């Protein structure tokens, strides 16, 4: 079982997840890959074997009004191959999470075309890095559009029209207020898309009242034999927040905390019945620091789990 995180590294200054310069400064995928190479070396030093790359690794790749950015993947083939080789050498599991504006079930034809273009581009990056089938692009069902059944059906139909290479890279995650595990299972049964279980989302939105273990098992079973599933785990923010006038408000539980609640994490894993192995993407605002702190907590409070994680590094 591997633990991973996403985004910028906080444990060492000077590391960047991607070239975030504005278009006027001519950002490029090749620059992002140079940053990524240095970031991978940091991950190796910390024995971290799982990482979610920035979805805008290739800046403005599919921006319709900026065609001069559209050929970055072709222009960076050598760099992509080299960084992919480094990831494979480190046994590093990589993935993307599609941005919120990527919607396969949108009724807006233009937005759908842009969504497909970006998913195709992210697929091309993973393929050029020669990464295995476990390197996925996670996305959500999308909008409700006043009719959940039609929205699910629209996603399934759009998925089935995608190029096979893109279909093979996608994984579908349930969300915290519109589409639960049973909804994405419905889509899986019609498309074969792999499913991502999200612990916090399931606590927040579970209209079918599925037990956590049952929901997890449903998602794990959607992955083909020989592929290691992954799940998402986060703790809700519990700190008081203030509005612009300084008035205190309770937290929004759908927001991720900075760190992972260790006892909740330990309880989740210890209560699982025997089931298929999986990796865990930690979604926490403290990024790598949250992962390293969780390791420390596991070593102190759950040494058997700590050993299980250590043997998979």
pLDDT along the chain (313 residues), means of 10: 96 97 97 98 97 98 96 98 98 97 97 98 98 98 95 98 98 97 98 98 96 98 97 94 90 92 97 95 98 97 87 64
HEC string for 244-303: CCCCEECCCCCCECCCCCHHHHHHHHHCCCCCCCCEEEECCCCHHHHHHHHHHHHHHHCH
Helices (H), 164-255: 164-167, 181-191, 199-204, 212-221
- Do residues 118 and 77 lie in contact, with contact meaning Cβ atoms separated by under 8 Å? no
- Give the architecture-level CATH label for domain 3-222: Alpha-Beta Barrel (3.20)
CB atoms within 10 A of CB 20: 15
What is the C-alpha separation between 217 and 162, in angstroms, rounded?
27
pLDDT at position 308 is: 80
State the pTM of this model.
Answer: 0.95
What is the C-alpha separation between 221 and 88, in angstroms, rounded?
26
Both structure tokens of 313: 């590094």
């Amino acid at each position: 079982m591997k633990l991973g995180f996403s985004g910028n590294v906080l444990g060492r200054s000077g590391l960047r997840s991607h070239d975030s310069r504005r278009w006027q400064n001519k950002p490029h995928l090749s620059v992002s890959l140079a940053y990524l190479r240095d970031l991978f070396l940091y991950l190796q030093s910390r024995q971290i074997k799982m990482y979610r790359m920035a979805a805008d690794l290739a800046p403005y790749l599919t921006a319709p009004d900026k065609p001069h950015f559209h050929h970055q993947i072709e222009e960076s083939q050598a760099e992509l191959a080299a960084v992919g080789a480094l990831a494979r050498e480190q046994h590093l599991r990589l993935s993307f999470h599609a941005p919120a504006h990527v919607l396969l079930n949108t009724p807006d034809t233009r937005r759908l075309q842009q969504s497909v273009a970006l998913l195709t581009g992210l697929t091309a990056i993973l393929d050029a890095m020669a990464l295995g089938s476990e390197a996925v692009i996670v996305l959500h069902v999308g909008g409700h559009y006043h009719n959940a059944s039609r929205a699910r059906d629209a996603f399934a139909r759009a998925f089935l029209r995608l190029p096979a290479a893109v279909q093979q890279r996608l994984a579908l995650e349930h969300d915290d207020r519109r589409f639960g595990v049973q909804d994405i299972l419905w889509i899986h049964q019609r498309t074969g898309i792999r499913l991502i279980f999200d612990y916090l989302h399931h606590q927040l939105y579970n209209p079918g009242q599925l037990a956590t273990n049952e929901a997890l098992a449903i998602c794990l079973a959607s992955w083909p034999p020989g592929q290691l599933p992954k799940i998402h785990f986060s703790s809700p923010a519990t700190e008081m927040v203030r509005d612009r006038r300084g008035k205190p408000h309770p937290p929004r539980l759908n927001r991720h905390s900075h760190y992972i609640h260790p006892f909740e994490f330990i309880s989740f894993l210890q209560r699982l019945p025997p089931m298929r192995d999986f990796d865990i993407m930690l979604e926490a605002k403290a990024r790598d620091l949250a992962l390293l702190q969780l390791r420390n907590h596991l070593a102190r409070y759950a040494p058997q789990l700590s050993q299980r994680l250590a043997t998979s590094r």
